[in-house]
Amino acid sequence: MNLGCSYAISTLLNPIILFYFKSHQKDAGFIGLTIILSGVFGSILSGLWLDRTKTFKGTTIGIYLISCIGMVVYTFILKLHRLWLVYVFAGFLGFFLTGYRPVGFQLAAEVTYPECEGTSSGLLNLAAEIIGIVSTIGMRALMTNVSIFAANATVCAALLVGTVLSAFIRPNYKRQAAGKEMHSKMEVEIAVEIDEKSKLNLDKT
């Protein structure tokens, strides 16, 4: 849901910006660049955060919720016609929307272990593409027939639904459990090997 909404926002960014800021084609492009660059940093930092904390579900819900709040603020900021604020909150939105990607992939790998990570990642990408297409078509229809505000509000609602659904994911981290079990076995084997070597050394002396 998160990535699909991100695709839709990026695809329809140009008409949205030009609706509120006439003849600002260059700014529409630079705002898109801001979203991309902030998303790169978001992906890196969220990956580092996961490596340090291992809080997969908590991070997922947190990013979803912040993305939802950021989208709400972005929707109302557009109405203020303050271009610099649009840059700031578009970057904020890109940071968390795109930053969700590694978090979602890692969470999927954890809960679907021992299935191949490529399978879970591929299915997530497929779902994101489908949701992105549906969201883009839906947003375009709302922009044409209702208003841009209604289209953005629908994205806010979709992100809220994603936040709620994420809360129902069972934090069954199978991959971590398997890693800990393997680590424990290795420690036991190393301890046994050291003990046997020490006994051999004592026998020699």
- Could you state, in order of their start, the residue ranges of all structural domains in the chain? 2-172, 173-205
Q: What is the pLDDT of residues 56-110, one digit of tens each?
A: 888 888 888 998 899 999 999 988 888 999 999 999 988 998 888 888 888 887 8
C-alpha span between 5 and 135 (Å, rounded)? 6
Q: What is the pLDDT of residues 19-58, one digit of tens each?
A: 988 888 889 889 999 999 998 999 899 888 888 888 888 8
Look at residue 139 and tell me whether its pLDDT is greater than 70. yes
Whole-structure pTM value: 0.78
Question: What pLDDT, on a 0 to 100 scale, did the predictor assign at position 23?
Answer: 82
Does domain 2-172 match CATH 1.20.1250.20?
A: yes
Question: What pLDDT, on a 0 to 100 scale, did the predictor assign at position 184?
Answer: 65
C-alpha span between 106 and 112 (Å, rounded)? 10
pLDDT band at 120; cut points 50, 70, 90: confident
Question: What pLDDT, on a 0 to 100 scale, did the predictor assign at position 187?
Answer: 67
